[in-house]
Amino acid sequence: MVRAALQPRGRLNRGPRKGVTVIPAISVVLMSCLAMLPVVTNRGGWPEFGFLMLVAWRLLRADAWPAWWAAPLGFVNDLLTGAPIGLSVALWTFVMLLMDLVDRRTQWRDYWIEWAVAAGLIILAETAEWKVAAWGGAPVPFKEMLPSIVVSVLAFPLFAHIASSLDRWRLGR
């Protein structure tokens, strides 16, 4: 930080990038696209990249996108990941509404609280996915979901870092 401040950098002509309002949404879609990686595995346990990116953006900024954008973003995620269509649509929009409530209720935020909130949302999402899989005819025991939850919670700081770096970049700071 100090070293960066010592660099002589022009303060003029710096501003938001082009398409500043859609960059967060694009980053979420790109993260959803990671589901197309040619990883062939017999067990799950990978984090849901799109969801983590969405949560990271929402925790960073309440106005990264209008809340209803979560619905089309979730639709894209459903199509790319092969989840039952509507799961991410409903879940992601619910998370946006829930976060509005959380924003009203929390007076103070630090890294630990953000991480805890993200962990809560991840557990909510994985539980919903588990329940929907059970309704869809695949009643997996819940302990099969635990590795995925742990990995997602541990991966969250990385996504928070990506979101904050992208945010600084898109705003030209």
Partner 1 sequence: MAAPAGPRPGWSRRAQYSLFFGFLAAVIGLLVGIFMLVLSLVAPQTYSAVRGAALDVASPITGPLAEVGATAKGLVSGAGNYWDAANQNAKLKKERAELRRTAVRAAGVFQENKQLKAALGLREQSSAAIATGRIVGSSFESPRRFAIISVGRGDGVQVGMPVRTADGLVGRIIDAGHIASRVLLVSDRANTVPARILRTGAPVIATGRGDGTVDIRPLEVGRNPFRRGDIIVTSGTGGLYPPLVPIARVIRLDDDGARGMPLADPTQSSFAIVEKPFEPAALAAATEAEER
Contact residues for partner 1 (CB under 8 A)? 33, 35-49, 60-63, 66-68, 70-71, 74, 79-94, 96-97, 100, 103, 106-110, 129-130, 132-133, 135-140, 144-145, 148
> Toward partner 1, which CB reaches closer, 21 or 106?
106
* Shortest distance in whole angstroms from residue 83 CB to partner 1: 6
* Shortest distance in whole angstroms from residue 105 CB to partner 1: 9
122 phi and psi, to 5 degrees? -65, -45
* Shortest distance in whole angstroms from residue 44 CB to partner 1: 6
Structure-token pair, residue 71 = 């619905």
Neighbours of 133 (CB within 10 A): 17
* Shortest distance in whole angstroms from residue 98 CB to partner 1: 10
> Toward partner 1, which CB reaches closer, 20 or 80?
80
> Toward partner 1, which CB reaches closer, 27 or 167?
167
Say how far apart CA 60 and CA 40 lie, in whole Å: 33
Q: Name which of 115, 114, 116, 121 is nearest 93 in CA terms.
A: 121
Evaluate whether 118 touches 153 at the Cβ level (below 8 Å): yes
* Shortest distance in whole angstroms from residue 50 CB to partner 1: 9
The sign one gets for the Cα dihedral 129, 134, 140, 146 is: positive
Q: Name which of 130, 155, 124, 134 is nearest 144 in CA terms.
A: 130
> Toward partner 1, which CB reaches closer, 3 or 66?
66
